[in-house]
Amino acid sequence: MDRLLEYAGHHSILAAAAVLMALVALGYEMRARAQTFAAASPQDVIRLMNQNALVLDIRPQEAFAAGHVAGARHMPSDQIVKAGETLKKQKDKPIVVYCESGPLAASAVRELIAQGFTRVCSLRGGLSAWRTDNLPLAKG
């Protein structure tokens, strides 16, 4: 331990850089875990749908009509702010939110949690991941 302190004293820039890199790595890991906490794989979404989860598609209407998860309800992303009023009966029901690739749905999940919804997650990878797993889409 004495040698480590001696080294840090002689090479303060290297020691500071090592501490900084450790903090950056820790921050990155914490952020990654926080994002995956509220994300479900396509298989998990199917399991949640079997438990009567509400599935929300927040993509534009044209994209929804072109193909969506069967049973999904269309809710434009700008209406998520009002979801507390619209979906007040669904507060304790599992809710899955998805967009095309995932980031927009993650922010919608954070908004829904802030409004008091307790069981909300996003589809990890969005509808792109759903298509990649060759899962069926409904049209219209």
Instruction: Report which DSSP code applies to 135.
Output: -
Residue 51: which of 4, 101, 94, 107 has the closest Cα?
A: 94
Residue stretches of the chain with pLDDT short of 70: 32-37
Residue with tokens 């949640």: 48
Share of the chain above pLDDT 90, in %: 53
DSSP string, 2-70: HHHHHHHHH-HHHHHHHHHHHHHHHHHHHHHHHHHHTEE-HHHHHHHHHTT-EEEE-S-HHHHHH-B-T
**99 counts as catalytic:** yes
Rounded to an integer, what distance in angstroms lies between the CA atom of residue 87 and that of residue 59?
A: 18
Residue 121: which of 137, 110, 131 has the closest Cα?
A: 110
Point out the catalytic residue in the list 95, 99, 104, 123.
99
The pLDDT, as a whole number, for residue 33 is: 64
Query: What does the angle CA 16 – CA 20 – CA 22 come to, to the nearest 5 degrees?
Result: 120
Backbone φ and ψ of 60, nearest 5° = -60, 160
Compute the Cα dihedral for 88, 90, 96, 98 and give only its sign: negative
The pLDDT, as a whole number, for residue 35 is: 55
* pTM recorded for the entire structure: 0.72
